[in-house]
Structure 1
Amino acid sequence: MLAEVVELRADNEQLGQALASRAVIDQACGMMMAMAPCPSDRAWDLLVDVSQRCNIKLRDVAEALVATTKDRTLPEPIQRELRRALRRLHAADRR
């Protein structure tokens, strides 16, 4: 019984963290949609691309991007890969 309670609490905490991460990722997607401009699926792809190329978790990329609304500077690796991702997006749109 005690093991079940501990497991349920751990599951509950993980779900709470996932929901919080998802909210930040959704905010970052909205920012990408405004910056690019692009639809939500392209914004998601851009964030995933930046995350993979920087080898930084998607939620951390999203948190860094959202933090720029509070006058925080986007870390250089994310800035660089974001610029590159936007260039690739616009080049693909011109074809």
Structure 2
Amino acid sequence: MEERAAGLVEELQGENAQLHEAMRSHAVVDQAIGVVLAVGQLTPEQGWNVLREISQRTNIKLRHVSELIIEWARTGKLCTDVRTELERQLAQNPQPPHSEA
């Protein structure tokens, strides 16, 4: 009985660690979407699509692309392949017209 309980506790701890990692990844991606939105004046959906395309076209995991974009916002430094693809994606996503208030 104790062995079974210990196994269950270990399984739950593993699941808990996975959930924490997923939450951290989600936060990083959300922050990167925010950077892309600010730079490209895009919608949230367009920002998500830009990050996804950069990840796919550079063969870099989405979380890592997101980390690079966040670091770029802080330092102004971005590796060439990601910068090139970001510029390409932003050029393909036209900015919405500004409304006059």
TM range (shorter): 0.7 to 0.9
Q: Percent identity?
A: 35
2:9 aligned residue (5, 9, 19): 5
Q: 5 Å matches for 1:56-95?
A: 56-71=60-75, 73-90=77-94
Please report the RMSD computed on the Cα atoms of aligned residues, expressed in angstroms.
Answer: 1.7
- Determine if contact 2:58/2:82 at 8 Å carries over to the other structure: yes
Show structure 1 runs of 4+ deviating over 4 A. Answer: none
Q: 5 Å matches for 1:38-57?
A: 38-57=42-61
Partner of 1:21 in structure 2?
25
Q: Which has the larger radius of gyration?
A: 2
- The CA distance in 2 between the partners of 1:13 and 1:4, in whole Å, is 14
- The CA distance in 2 between the partners of 1:47 and 1:53, in whole Å, is 10
Higher helix share: 1
CA offsets 1:11-51 (integer angstroms, 9 cap, x no match):
11111111111111111111111111111011000000000
The amino acid that maps onto 2:36 is: M
Looking at both structures, which has the greater relative contact order when contacts are Cα pairs under 8 Å and sequence separation is at least 6? 2
Unaligned 5+ segments in structure 2 are 97-101
The number of aligned residues is 92
